[in-house]
């Protein structure tokens, strides 16, 4: 069967480069200010510590091709966030081109369908983790292999008996994609439908059994992978299981409901969320104005290019659009299979929107077919341009959220190293949670180890960051003194105990706090999560090395500069000086902060300065700060009473003679 000639009006030869320009506009503007996120940090850290050819030690046996892919790409692209962000944009562009190629092979006469679906695929807004660049550049490569497998399968069907080489290439590419990630396992079952469309393309319908017969080798491959992955391999990632507690009927009803809900969410709601953008922008922020600029540029791109490639909906041009419509719906219904098997939710929110990569082809085919069915050309161009414009603005705003997160991570690391210049190896760093969206405790474990142990190259992992919210039934199941803690970190392992623990608390507004039972307990920080109470009693500030030969430095290649022109610098150093008993140093830091014009955003950060000034005999200033804090936050009374109790113990006569101290202590209900 001869493939019809493919002619795209006017922009035929320029289209790939126009698409690359759109990819750069949508995803690339903020690249210089973006970093590493989520699992990017651990996996780059593993390559840094173990060597970039040792990823087979990291992934074990659950995804056999993935370590090969990492071993091939890590030495080439290195550890630079900018490099990986660029690679991710190029991979997303290549992925869109491969999808367009597949659409063209399946429906070669539908040039408009090719154009609209390729562009919509590039800007699909359901997948919100484009900027987790190191991880998803590799996943994009695996999806490219899957699309190539589908395309070569179709070419083999068109060529007939002479297509054995295409079939072989399709089977190899499909198998490698499956062995790299199970994300696209459900989409394997779209193959017979595409084969049927292709075999019927000449107007002489073939029997369905011919499509099924051609699908048989791929079915064997898919079934073999399903048996191996579902029954033989249970990993530290996701266990494949099915738990039906209410009987088969209820299980079927639940599955159908989940299938419909996830299909609707990944197919249509993914696009619906972009229309919230104008109401979510903070118009005082420069980046919000940039988002509008990006959207306007995308609108101009869509209108100019769309007018060249989108035609009116004449009857002849709308024929067979039911096929991509059916294919899109089928893909949406099949895409979630591996997630349902693993009991993982499919959502638009991070981190579960990563699963929408599998829903992307179905959503795009569905929308492109709907656009193709419209008769009025101007309506089609308008709808197409509206989707591109809003998606572009949405992606830019998402990229800006990642930019802010990178900035906040740098700030947190600087504060941690100011407060704890070095930390003894074998220390747990526990928080209920820290206010990060795109970093987990696993992410921060890699970051903290890279910061405090830059020369580490194997053996027991020096530090482990643990979120009490997610590890209370595993790592932190027993919060009693001197309980051993042994926790795997992929191929590495941490060994410590609960008495070698630092407790972190990061308010939404303010500086990082290291909590303990003496200076910063729940009475002193009433806004901290009460679920930290057991950990706070075990917090051991003696794990901090006060005067190290080589203090920890936030990873210089990612976070250059010391950033000392910041209120939190003075606060963290004052909190450290208070721990060391250097009250003169605390008072000096207060004077320096005031002279520089700094003041706390969180009034609770006045506590170490109140104590330092009081201990230095500057009682009037300490009392003034006390009144300031108490007037803003009456709940600070217990912590302030503790501070004044220590000041009074050190110099009782001076405190008793201090004018105005008695009513303040009485208002705070301090014990006499």
CATH number at 634 reads 1.25.40
Question: Does residue 233 lie in a domain region?
Answer: yes
Location of structure tokens 């073999």: 224
Location of structure tokens 């997630």: 339
Location of structure tokens 């791109």: 301
pLDDT per position as a tens digit, 481-512: 999 999 998 889 999 999 999 999 998 889 99
Residue 236 has pLDDT above 50, yes or no: no
pLDDT bracket for residue 283 (50, 70, 90): low
Asked if 169 and 142 touch (Cβ cutoff 8 Å), the reply is no
pLDDT per position as a tens digit, 646-665: 998 888 888 888 888 888 88
Question: Does residue 324 lie in a domain region?
Answer: yes
Contacts of 146 (CB under 8 A, 6+ apart): 173, 174, 177, 184, 187
The residue among 554, 580, 595 that closes a domain is: 554
- For the chain, what is the radius of gyration of the CA atoms? 30
Question: Does residue 8 lie in a domain region?
Answer: no
Residue 292 has pLDDT above 80, yes or no: yes
Residue 422, phi-psi category: left (phi > 0), alpha (psi -120 to 50), beta (remainder):
beta
Provide the 8-state DSSP code for 376: -
Residue 189 has pLDDT above 60, yes or no: yes
Q: Are residues 515 and 392 part of one domain?
A: no
Characterize the bridge pairing of strands 484-489 and 492-497.
Answer: antiparallel
Q: Which residues pair with 492 in a beta bridge?
A: 489
Q: Are residues 90 and 21 part of one domain?
A: yes
CA-nearest of 357, 550, 520 to 454 is: 550
Mean pLDDT of all residues in 317-335 = 86
Question: Does residue 4 lie in a domain region?
Answer: no
Angle at 293 between CA 394 and CA 307, to 5 degrees: 85
Question: Does residue 5 lie in a domain region?
Answer: no
Q: Are residues 652 and 533 part of one domain?
A: no
Asked if 452 and 544 touch (Cβ cutoff 8 Å), the reply is no
Higher pLDDT, 393 or 306: 393
- Rounded Cα gap, residues 479 and 488, in angstroms: 18
- Rounded Cα gap, residues 86 and 92, in angstroms: 10
Rounded to the nearest integer, the mean pLDDT of the chain is: 87
The residue among 533, 554, 575 that closes a domain is: 554
pLDDT at 277 (0 to 100): 62
Q: What's the total number of domains in the chain?
A: 3
Among 59-73, 126-140, 275-289, 524-538, which is the least confidently predicted range? 275-289
Q: Are residues 573 and 545 part of one domain?
A: no
Q: Are residues 203 and 164 part of one domain?
A: yes
Q: Model-level pTM? A: 0.91
Contacts of 601 (CB under 8 A, 6+ apart): 509, 510, 567
What percent of the chain has a predicted confidence (pLDDT) above 90? 56
pLDDT per position as a tens digit, 27-47: 999 999 999 999 999 999 999
Q: Are residues 103 and 82 part of one domain?
A: yes
Q: Are residues 623 and 535 part of one domain?
A: no
Q: Are residues 274 and 175 part of one domain?
A: yes
Q: Are residues 355 and 303 part of one domain?
A: yes
Question: Does residue 409 lie in a domain region?
Answer: no
Domain of 182 in residue numbering reads as 15-403
Q: Is the dihedral of CA 398, 400, 404, 406 positive or negative?
A: positive
The residue among 554, 584, 619 that closes a domain is: 554
pLDDT at 8 (0 to 100): 46
For the beta sheet containing 463-467, the strands, ordered from the edge strand earlier in sequence to the opposite edge, are: 463-467, 427-431, 501-505, 513-515
Q: Are residues 165 and 135 part of one domain?
A: yes
Q: Are residues 566 and 547 part of one domain?
A: no
Question: Does residue 10 lie in a domain region?
Answer: no
Question: Does residue 373 lie in a domain region?
Answer: yes
* CB burial of residue 386 (10 Å; 0-12, 13-18, 19+): middle
Q: Are residues 441 and 377 part of one domain?
A: no
pLDDT per position as a tens digit, 541-579: 999 999 898 899 999 999 987 677 789 999 999 999 999
């Amino acid at each position: 069967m001869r493939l019809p000639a493919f002619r795209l009006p006017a922009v035929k030869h320029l289209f790939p480069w126009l698409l690359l320009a759109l990819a750069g506009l949508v995803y690339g503007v903020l690249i210089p200010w973006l970093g590493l996120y989520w699992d990017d940090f651990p996996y780059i850290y593993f390559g840094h510590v173990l060597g970039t050819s040792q990823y087979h030690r990291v992934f074990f046996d659950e995804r056999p091709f993935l370590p090969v892919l990492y071993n091939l790409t890590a030495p080439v692209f290195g550890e630079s966030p900018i490099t990986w962000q660029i690679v991710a944009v190029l991979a997303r562009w290549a992925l869109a081109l491969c999808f367009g190629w597949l659409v063209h092979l399946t429906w070669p006469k539908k040039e408009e369908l090719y154009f609209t679906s390729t562009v919509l695929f590039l800007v699909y807004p359901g997948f919100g983790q484009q900027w987790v660049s190191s991880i998803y550049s590799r996943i994009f490569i695996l999806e490219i292999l899957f699309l190539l497998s589908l395309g070569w399968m179709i070419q083999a069907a068109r060529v007939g008996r002479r297509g054995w080489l295409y079939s072989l290439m399709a089977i190899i590419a499909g198998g490698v994609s499956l062995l790299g990630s199970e994300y696209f396992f459900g989409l394997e079952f779209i193959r017979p439908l595409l084969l049927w469309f292709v075999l019927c393309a000449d107007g002489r319908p073939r029997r369905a059994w011919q499509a099924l017969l051609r699908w048989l080798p791929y079915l064997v491959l898919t079934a073999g992978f399903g048996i191996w992955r579902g029954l033989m391999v249970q990993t530290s990632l996701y266990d494949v299981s099915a738990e039906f507690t209410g009987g088969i009927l209820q299980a079927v009803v639940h599955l159908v409901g989940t299938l419909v809900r996830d299909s609707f969410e990944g197919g249509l709601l993914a696009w619906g969320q972009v229309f919230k953008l104008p109401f979510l922008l903070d118009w005082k922020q420069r980046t919000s104005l940039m988002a509008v600029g990006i959207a306007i540029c995308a609108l101009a791109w869509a209108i100019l290019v769309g007018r060249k490639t989108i035609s009116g909906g004449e009857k002849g041009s709308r024929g067979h659009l039911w096929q991509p419509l059916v294919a899109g719906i089928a893909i949406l219904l099949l895409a979630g299979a591996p997630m349902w098997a693993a009991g993982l939710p499919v959502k638009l929110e991070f981190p579960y929107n990563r699963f929408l990569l599998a829903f992307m082809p179905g959503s795009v085919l569905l929308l492109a077919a709907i656009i193709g069915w419209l008769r009025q050309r101007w309506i089609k161009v308008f709808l197409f341009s509206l989707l591109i414009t809003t998606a572009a603005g949405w992606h830019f705003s998402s990229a800006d959220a990642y930019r802010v997160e990178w900035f906040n991570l740098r700030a947190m690391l600087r504060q941690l190293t100011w407060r704890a210049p070095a930390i003894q190896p074998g220390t747990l760093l526990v928080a209920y949670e820290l206010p990060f969206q795109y970093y987990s405790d696993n992410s921060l474990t890699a970051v903290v180890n890279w910061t405090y142990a830059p020369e580490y190259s194997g053996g027991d992992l020096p530090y482990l960051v643990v979120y009490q919210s997610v590890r209370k039934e595993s790592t932190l199941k027993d919060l009693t003194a001197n309980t051993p803690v042994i926790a795997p970190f992929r191929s590495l392992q941490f060994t410590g105990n609960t008495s070698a623990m630092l407790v972190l608390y990061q308010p939404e507004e303010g500086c990082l706090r290291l909590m303990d039972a003496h200076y910063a307990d729940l009475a002193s920080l009433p806004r901290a999560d009460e679920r930290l109470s057991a950990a706070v009693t075990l917090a051991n500030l003696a794990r901090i090395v006060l005067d190290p030969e080589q203090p920890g430095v936030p990873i210089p290649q990612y976070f250059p500069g010391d950033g000392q022109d910041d209120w939190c610098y003075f606060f963290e150093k004052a909190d450290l000086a208070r721990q060391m008993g250097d009250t003169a140093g605390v008072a000096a830091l207060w004077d320096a902060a005031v002279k520089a014009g700094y003041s706390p955003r969180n009034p609770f950060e006045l506590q170490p300065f109140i104590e330092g000034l009081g201990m230095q005999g500057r009682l009037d200033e300490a009392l003034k700060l006390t009144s300031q804090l108490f007037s803003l936050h009456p709940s600070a009374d217990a912590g302030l009473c503790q501070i004044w109790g220590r000041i009074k113990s050190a110099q009782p006569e001076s405190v008793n003679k201090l004018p105005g101290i008695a009513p303040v202590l009485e208002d705070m209900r301090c014990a006499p």
